[in-house]
Chain A
Amino acid sequence: MPIIVNLDVMMAKRKMSLNELSEKVELTLSNLSILKTGKAKAIRFSTLEAICQALDCQPGDILEYVENK
């Protein structure tokens, strides 16, 4: 998929575990895991907002576009 989710990179920078992030954004571990492993088909703005707030970052820090070759 051309959109890559760099959630683990940001989590490592902020030294936050998946459990902590899940509690802060009020998302289940399984949903966060779906996002982290790149299996998600879509993300709600509300979820993106909560993640950016929790990790103190911009959407571009989490989402990256890589062209299919």
Chain B
Amino acid sequence: MSKTNNFIFVVLHIVAWLIFVGLCIEAGALIVNFVYSLFKPEIVAYLYEKLDLSDMYARSKWAYFGMYSFILVISVMKAVMFYIVIRLLIKLDLAKPFSSFVSEQISLISYFTFSIGMLSFIARQTAKNLLHRGYEIDQLYKFWVDSQAFILMAAVIYVIATIFKKGIELQNEQDLTV
């Protein structure tokens, strides 16, 4: 592999770690906020990233817990997805990339990406529904603004995973050709 490719991989690795740490911090803060809000409801006005859901909480606790659950699950899934990306980058051997482990990880990433995209889409539709009922949901849009991008990415990664599986078949056949 050329020096440029190796350099790109190192940079990708560092970027993946930075994003993973950022997502972990976000997911952790959201979890702590959520647990704390169960015991001290006054905290819902001072949530992570200046999120204020006090009106929603006052009008309907179910709406608050529903919306917050969406936010929480999506952020945790993003962190887990990047953990899989890091695990893939660590174990990927550029000399022999076509292994079943790599194929499984790419498939996992595509499933997670699709799930995040679908959940974000459902959350956005639910938020729209709440808007029609008079709830303030402007602050929530930032948590699922990229749902369509995730679904598109899932489709692309799925195609890559399928091609990778074919590559593994070809490599296995090549390995057993004398």
Residue-wise interface mask of B (156-178) relative to A, using a CB-CB cutoff of 8 A (1 in contact, 0 not): 00000000000000001100111
The interface bits of chain A over 17-57 (1 if a CB of B lies within 8 angstroms of the residue's CB, else 0) are 00000000001000110110001111110010000000000
Q: Tell me how far the C-beta of A1 lies from the nearest C-beta in chain B, rounded to whole angstroms.
A: 11
Chain B binding surface, main DSSP class: mixed
A47 CA to B178 CA, complexed, in Å: 7
**Considering the chains assembled together, what is the distance between the CA atoms of A24 and B177 in angstroms?**
18
**Cα separation A67 to B4 with both chains bound (whole Å):** 52
**B172 to chain A: closest residue by CB:** A41
Rounded to whole angstroms, the CA-CA distance of A42 and B170 in the bound complex is 12
Q: How large is the interface on B (under 10, 10 to 19, 20 to 34, 35 or more residues)?
A: under 10
**What is the size, in residues, of chain A's interface with B at 8 Å between Cβ atoms?**
12
Question: What CA separation (Å) do A32 and B26 show in the bound complex?
Answer: 55
Give B177's nearest chain A residue, CB to CB. Answer: A42
Q: Can you report 23 A-B residue pairs in the complex whose CB atoms are below 8 A from each other?
A: A27-B178, A31-B178, A32-B178, A34-B176, A34-B178, A35-B178, A39-B176, A40-B176, A40-B177, A40-B178, A41-B172, A41-B173, A41-B176, A41-B177, A42-B173, A42-B176, A42-B177, A42-B178, A43-B177, A43-B178, A44-B177, A44-B178, A47-B178
- Additional pairs, 19, CB under 8 Å, beyond known A40-B177, A42-B177: A27-B178, A31-B178, A32-B178, A34-B176, A35-B178, A39-B176, A40-B176, A40-B178, A41-B172, A41-B173, A41-B176, A41-B177, A42-B173, A42-B176, A43-B177, A43-B178, A44-B177, A44-B178, A47-B178
